[in-house]
Amino acid sequence: MSAAESLPEPLTGVPAEPVPDAATDRRRLAAARGVITGEQHQGEGNAVYVVYVAVIAAGAYGVPASQSLFRFLDPQWMADHLSGARGLVAGAVLVVALLALAVRAGAVRGPVVPELPYLDHVAASPLDRYVVLRRWWRLGLTGGLVGGLLTGLVVGAGLAIAQVTGPVVLLPAVALGLLVGLLVAGAWLHGQVHAAVTVDRGRHGGVHPLTGLGVFLRARPALRGLRLPALRAQAARSVTIGGGVLAGDLRAVRLEVASPTTRARRTRLRAHGPVLTLVSRDALGLRRAPGTLVTGLLLSGAAAYGLAHAATPGVPSVVALAALLVGYLGVGQWCEGLRMQGDNAGTPPLIGLSARTEAVGHLVVPTALYALTTLLVDGAALRQGGVSTLGVAWALVMVAPLLGGQLMAAFRGLPPAAVFAPGRGIGSTALWYAVPLLAPAVVGTAVTAMLTSTVLGAQAPLALVIGGYLLVTWGLRRVRLLTDAHRG
């Protein structure tokens, strides 16, 4: 064991010894990189090339797509619903959700994740950890700023070209994009540091000095607070997740991303018959993962309101599309039991149920939660006059295509052989992942557009029944095919 490994890491994230001279550490680090890479000065050519490609893609594809979207939307509808206090509230909610997602992503895979050999041979040395790790933080910060700038530029240019507003919107949009990108990068690092540090309850009253917002966007103390075991774990996890995505092994990805169960560990299931025990097991799983339950409630509530509002004539179809995408993610939070059945397809059933009956049983809890959320959210909106009774009923019955998509996703099976074909792997993989999401989104958007149409409005309920039935039947067929394939 080296001398660096034998020294205990301080609880405060600041080295117990005085920090060495930064210039000396930079020279030693440059020498180490020269030994590793064979170059005395390692450039950032890859990062510059990525930024170059992103700028070209934003100009060639982002701006035309943005202005086409704003032209497709009714400018009057946008002015009525996205201006003033409503627009500010919607933007604030979106930013808060984005920051929460960045913090959660940092706990799984943060911006500062060097390769395992670099961690073992360079980061474990007595060099100042801020000097050793700042290159990765600069790359992450640059990515956040460039992404925010390009997003603001694309949205602002789309608004100006579509004549929704004047060209003066470009400067505020770019400034706001830069600010949001900076906050997202800081939240990403903050999530990684918060997950890495150890709570010092004895010396700091149960609150670690690096877990508060006082070190937000302060790279020096944050990087020094990153522990080597946590960095190694994230480096290994990123390799596993990348390999699982490329190979189509979604089970391995979920196991790496999932949070450990720490709640209701002593609660046990009681026997109530096969189906009811299965439903109770799904409910207990959500009780043990309250974050998943709450996330599903928030997403499904937003989707239910969007679907009820989209049933009003004059509302653009993109509202229904966005609501269905959000609803798919929300209902998916409650379908862990269904995914576990898909992961263990073909194994002998422990409680004697057929694969089809078990899959249908796993849909009981998501259906009940979605119906309850829809009634609460849209019921409150109905009393305020924001939606109609038809809209509430429409949002309720939209659960059928959403559940069909969950069945297709849980039992999608192995990726097709085209995933591994040269030149077609990325496109085939993306399509294979996206089909369970796109199918309910396309069906739901189409039937909602029919409902608001003056010509086909009467046929919309029948079309929804047929579309939902076909998606659920397709999903149950995937259950049978995957189960039989594993048994064969």
Residue 469 has pLDDT above 80, yes or no: yes
Question: What residue type is 445 in one-letter code?
Answer: T
Per-residue pLDDT tens digits for 223-266: 887 888 888 888 888 888 877 777 667 777 777 777 666 676 77
Residue 66 to residue 57: CA distance in whole angstroms: 12
Q: Are 339 and 413 in contact (CB under 8 A)?
A: no
- Helices 228-247 and 425-451, axial angle in degrees (round to 10): 80
- Helices 274-288 and 355-362, axial angle in degrees (round to 10): 40
Per-residue pLDDT tens digits for 303-321: 999 999 888 888 888 889 9
Determine whether 342 is exposed, middle or buried from the number of CB atoms within 10 Å of its CB (0-12, 13-18, 19+).
Answer: buried
Token look-up 């509202």 returns 319
Q: How confident is the model at residue 12 (pLDDT cuts 50, 70, 90)?
A: very low
Per-residue pLDDT tens digits for 260-270: 666 767 777 77
Query: Which of 222, 217, 207, 224 shows the shortest CA–CA distance to 18?
Result: 224
Per-residue pLDDT tens digits for 172-196: 899 999 999 999 999 998 888 887 7
Q: Count of CB atoms within 10 A of residue 72's CB?
A: 11
**So what's the pLDDT on residue 36?**
62
**So what's the pLDDT on residue 290?**
87
Q: How confident is the model at residue 8 (pLDDT cuts 50, 70, 90)?
A: very low
In sequence order, what are the residues at sequence separation of 6 or more whose Cβ sits closer than 8 angstroms to the Cβ of residue 87?
A: 81
What does the H/E/C string look like for 300-316? Answer: HHHHHHHHHHHCCCCCC
Residue 305 backbone phi and psi in degrees, to 5:
-65, -40
Region 363-372 average pLDDT: 95
Q: What is the end-to-end Cα distance of the chain in Å, rounded?
A: 51
Per-residue pLDDT tens digits for 35-57: 665 554 445 667 788 888 889 98
**So what's the pLDDT on residue 396?**
94
Residue 64 has pLDDT above 80, yes or no: yes
Residue 377 to residue 304: CA distance in whole angstroms: 7
Residue 401 has pLDDT above 90, yes or no: yes
**So what's the pLDDT on residue 447?**
93
Region 405-427 average pLDDT: 76
What the block records as the tokens of 415 is 């990726």
**So what's the pLDDT on residue 145?**
93
Region 282-287 average pLDDT: 90
Within 162-227, residue ranges assigned H as helices are: 170-196, 201-204, 219-224
Q: Are 470 and 403 in contact (CB under 8 A)?
A: no
Per-residue pLDDT tens digits for 17-33: 444 566 776 777 776 66
**So what's the pLDDT on residue 400?**
94
Residue 9 has pLDDT above 50, yes or no: no
Q: How confident is the model at residue 443 (pLDDT cuts 50, 70, 90)?
A: very high
**So what's the pLDDT on residue 213?**
63
What average pLDDT does the structure give for the chain?
Answer: 81
Q: Are 371 and 384 in contact (CB under 8 A)?
A: no
Question: What residue type is 221 in one-letter code?
Answer: P
Q: Length of the chain in residues, anyone?
A: 488
Within 115-169, residue ranges assigned H as helices are: 116-118, 129-161
State CA 271 to chain mean position distance: 36
In sequence order, what are the residues at sequence separation of 6 or more whose Cβ sits closer than 8 angstroms to the Cβ of residue 454?
A: 313
Q: Are 365 and 286 in contact (CB under 8 A)?
A: yes
Per-residue pLDDT tens digits for 318-346: 889 999 999 999 999 999 989 988 888 87
**So what's the pLDDT on residue 420?**
65
Q: How confident is the model at residue 104 (pLDDT cuts 50, 70, 90)?
A: confident
Residue 159 to residue 68: CA distance in whole angstroms: 10
Per-residue pLDDT tens digits for 67-98: 888 877 766 677 676 666 777 888 888 899 89
Query: Which of 242, 260, 265 shows the shortest CA–CA distance to 252?
Result: 242
Per-residue pLDDT tens digits for 113-167: 888 888 887 777 777 788 888 888 888 899 999 999 999 999 888 888 877 777 8
